[in-house]
């Protein structure tokens, strides 16, 4: 399992999808989950950077877990996901300020993601409600984007959730370029 976390963490860092100590990863193991340590560097994950805790209850290790633990727990309680990747892809985050949803225009993005909802903190009553809303959306979407913050990708495998994060960022780079070139990103590019 350590090698999976290391591979995905290194990929996220080397592609600029997380900062030196940003983002977090987790996998579900029955009634437990393994999540990255609070403030760990995903680009160089070590054994001590992985924290095992309960999905429904805390244990001695819980205070060391990522600050996003509540979101990961809520996703696992609400969906059939077995892995979550939380990243801060810069083009996706930039577009989250202007878009209510990301609709990829590239073939791969359209095939894998179709549409990515952009969730704003103003859309829920309390900040704690953000976790519930992310989990609710994760039932139907592979990736959810939180305005000004980052993405949450869900899947059965950590590597697959990472792949969805990469596809989101590639699609957002293209959308950003189309906007910069003043090309209507909603137009059919395959005419």
Judge whether residue 67 has pLDDT over 80.
Answer: yes
So what's the pLDDT on residue 182? 84
Cα–Cα dist 102/11, whole Å: 23
Average pLDDT, the chain: 92
Across 33-48, b (16+ Cβ under 10 Å) vs e yields: bbbbbbebbbbebeee
- Dihedral angle computed from the Cα positions of residues 156, 161, 163 and 164, in that order, rounded to the nearest 10 degrees: 110
The answer to whether the beta carbons of residues 58 and 79 sit under 8 Å apart is no
The topology under which CATH files domain 2-180 is L-fuculose-1-phosphate Aldolase (3.40.225)
Look up residue 140 and give its DSSP letter: T
pLDDT at residue 102 above 80?
A: yes
**Mean pLDDT to the nearest integer, 166-179:** 96
Structure tokens given for 35: 């999540």
Sequence-ordered list of residues with C-beta below 8 angstroms from that of 177, at least 6 positions apart, any chain: none
Average pLDDT over residues 109-137: 84
pTM to 2 decimal places: 0.91
Domain boundaries, the chain: 2-180
pLDDT at 82 over 60: yes
Tokens of 96: 């989250």
Binned at pLDDT 50, 70 and 90, residue 185 comes out as low
């Amino acid at each position: 399992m350590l090698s999976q976390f290391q591979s995905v963490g290194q990929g996220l860092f080397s592609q600029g999808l997380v900062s030196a100590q940003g983002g977090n990863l987790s996998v579900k193991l029955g009634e437990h989950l393994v999540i990255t340590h609070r403030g760990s560097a995903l680009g160089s994950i070590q054994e001590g950077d992985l924290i095992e805790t309960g999905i429904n209850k805390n244990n001695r290790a819980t205070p060391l877990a990522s600050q996003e633990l509540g979101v990961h727990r809520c996703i696992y309680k609400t969906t059939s996901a077995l892995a979550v990747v939380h990243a801060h892809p810069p083009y996706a985050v930039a577009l989250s300020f202007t878009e209510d949803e990301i609709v990829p225009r590239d073939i791969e993005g359209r095939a894998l993601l179709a549409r990515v909802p952009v969730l704003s903190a103003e859309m829920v009553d309390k900040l704690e409600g953000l976790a519930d809303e992310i989990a609710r959306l994760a039932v139907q979407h592979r990736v959810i984007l939180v305005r000004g913050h980052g993405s949450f990708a869900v899947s059965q495998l950590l590597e697959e959730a990472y792949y969805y994060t990469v596809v989101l960022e590639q699609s957002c780079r293209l959308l950003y370029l189309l906007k910069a070139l003043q090309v209507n990103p909603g137009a059919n590019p395959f005419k």
